[in-house]
Structure formats: structure tokens, C-alpha cells
Amino acid sequence: DAGVTQSPTHLIKTRGQQVTLRCSPKSGHDTVSWYQQALGQGPQFIFQYYEEEERQRGNFPDRFSGHQFPNYSSELNVNALLLGDSALYLCASSPVEGYGYTFGSGTRLTVV
């Protein structure tokens, strides 16, 4: 049973560019949440998707946007990249009922 899959593993982008990160949830999970984790910090909630809609959003600017597809996979898009966007981006999936997220291994984004 595959867990959460994220791609790519690592990514280097230049300031001002745009990036798309991808996430496939665990089988049986239909809710996807995205987190940003700066070095030495805890994960910060970006947003959550359920039934292809953004259900909740954390304190992130509109440069951060997302999408969920009918197969429950999700994308995180970041426009106009800043140096401060350099971080580990984690995707987590969860079932509608029940508790406990399953996290992917993350995408390490470096903005230069």
C-alpha cells in the first residue's frame, strides 16, 4: 500500500520564478494538506484540499495556490519566488473520518 508520494525530491529555482510541487495521497485518503517547514522550525500549515476545493488556509500570501484533482492528487504552486520561500514542503493526506496524517518525504525547494 503506497504512502504519500511527493515530486520532485529536490528543486532549485531562481527568484521571481514559479514552481509546481506534486503530491499523490495515500490510498483511501481524500484530503490533502500542504505544509512549509523552514530549517529548524516546525511545519507551517499552508492549506488543505478536499473534494477539489480549498477547505482551509493558513497565513500564506496569494502567491501560494493549489489544486486537487478528481483522483485526489494535489499540486502546490508558488509564484514570484522569494529567497524566503526556500524550505521543505510537506504534503500530508488523511481520511475524511479518523485521525492521523500520513506525510510524504517532502520536496526541498531552494530559491537562489
Partner 1 sequence: SQQGEEDPQALSIQEGENATMNCSYKTSINNLQWYRQNSGRGLVHLILIRSNEREKHSGRLRVTLDTSKKSSSLLITASRAADTASYFCATGPYNNNDMRFGAGTRLTVKP
Binding site for partner 1 (CB under 8 A): 4, 31, 33, 35, 37, 39-45, 48, 55-56, 58-59, 88, 90, 92, 94, 97-106, 108
CB of 69 to partner 1, least distance (A): 20
Residues 6+ apart with CB under 8 A from 49: 31, 32, 33, 55, 66, 67, 68, 74
Q: Of 73 and 79, which CB lies nearer to partner 1 in the complex structure?
A: 73
Residue that the C-alpha cell 508520494 belongs to: 5
CB of 16 to partner 1, least distance (A): 26
Task: Output Rg (C-alpha) for the chain, integer angstroms.
Answer: 13
Q: Of 58 and 73, which CB lies nearer to partner 1 in the complex structure?
A: 58
